[in-house]
Chain A
């Protein structure tokens, strides 16, 4: 077969499928390289760690289940805190967008204070300060409140931006249909804003999974508290901390996948029908 002579006579359909083949080939090669690099780094890391940290398997068999039992607490803290944060962020964003100077001031003061001080300090402040005002919450809700208030401040700004990102035309269209301010906000603005901020909420939740470890200082028995407490008596903290790191990592990978799926679902409305 004289390819040189037949090539120019190829139909456009053949040409198209050849381009598709090449494209598919390129994508597969890209993925192979991508996965290979991941595996190489992972193997290098595992080799390095295994070479430096002496792993005691009988000790790990006992301590890993104890550390894993902290996953429930970590997830409980993270979910409860993010729920509080979302509620506060909605209130905060409304305040920040309000024309009422009092509401606006309260909201901006809240954001300024909780973004302006360290999270660890806020946890200790609530833990030590609230009882002096006569409110004695156990450590777990205290930690959840502190995390919720802190993340709520960051998310206030995200929500505010999300609401402002809904095009003006949407509001105008709602008005022209005879919707009131309130209905427009509830039925038109909020649903669209929520879709805009979904990736950011997912991101914050993943950050929250790890920041929840800070409540270990007030004795909440989550993953890090357990890793440290079981590592110290036998002077093997390095191993247990390593286990905790893996647990956090796996958790964040799982939730990243969930986040990705959720975002894809939320984006369905953006796709044009083919």
Chain B
């Protein structure tokens, strides 16, 4: 009797869960602003369709690439709070930026290569959830400015780099600080949470960069959800001695008349930035191969350089010395 009661209770809960998953699934993803994914997913030229189609057929259906092909969509995670890499354009209600353009182009080329008609679907969780790994199949790939670090490589598989990121430091416009040394000894910093810039300040950044600058001593770090909040906090009148963030992002903020100025011309460190795939998910080998081919092609024909110059006013796609 008691067992039956328990089972019926659990059954009811399971039923609710099931009803909810089937009933509520569609708006979660289609509620996004009408993102310009349609052109990326347009059908490839029919002339080249026969040869690549056999390539698609030879892919293991249980691998990540196989699952992407059979579902007809590729779910790409990006944090659309990262201007000028990925952000929402209020004029058009679409995602824009360097990462967005790269992702759309990647899907287009994937379709050309495989003779498929895979659609791009954006997933927009907060940044710290993307870097945490163990995505549990919520999305297939991150094309969202993820820097290659050793600690992240334990939870995700990285492709070859598509650009090279530089960390930058900005100080409030009225700051008297003029060098990195002056930021040592208990100064206050604002960073975006779970970023390489936060790790740099906390001396936990594991990258290979001979030119990485030594972080200031005894930093008092405030980590906000995104580094954008740091800039807005300073603009609103909160005081931080410095903001550590993506150099291009900070320069974009300076150009948008935010009350900050760049402290250094040089990056505090540079690091490869790549697409990331979940290590704990389906086999990524075939997906890595095809994505690496596409990245190599986009480097070779100047596509990435073009995106970089369009969105960052600068070419960040060649490896710095």
Residues of A within 8 A of B (CB): 59, 62-63, 66, 72-73, 76, 80, 84, 87-88, 91, 95, 98, 100-103, 106, 124, 127-128, 130-132, 135-141, 144-145, 148, 217-221, 225, 228-230, 232-235, 237-238
Contact = CB atoms under 8 A, between A and B. Distances in A.
A217 B29 contact: no
Contacts of B88: 66, 229-230, 233
A235 B232 contact: yes
Interface of B: 1-3, 5-6, 9, 12-13, 16-17, 20-21, 23-25, 27-29, 31-33, 80-81, 83, 87-91, 93, 123-126, 129, 132, 134-138, 226, 228-229, 231-232, 235-236, 253, 256, 258
B136 A131 contact: yes
Contacts of B27: 73, 76, 140
A91 B134 contact: no
A103 B12 CA distance: 14
Nearest to B86: A233
A144 B28 CA distance: 11
A164 to B, nearest CB: 20
Contact of A136 (B2, B124, B132, B138): B138
Given A219-B125, A233-B90, A144 B20 contact: yes
Given A98-B5, A138-B28, A221-B32, 12 more contacts: A66-B93, A102-B2, A106-B6, A131-B136, A132-B134, A132-B136, A137-B25, A138-B21, A141-B24, A141-B28, A232-B228, A235-B258
B2 A128 contact: no
A87 B16 contact: yes
Contacts of A62: 90-91
A12 to B, nearest CB: 64
B90 A141 contact: no
B134 A100 contact: no
B226 A217 contact: no
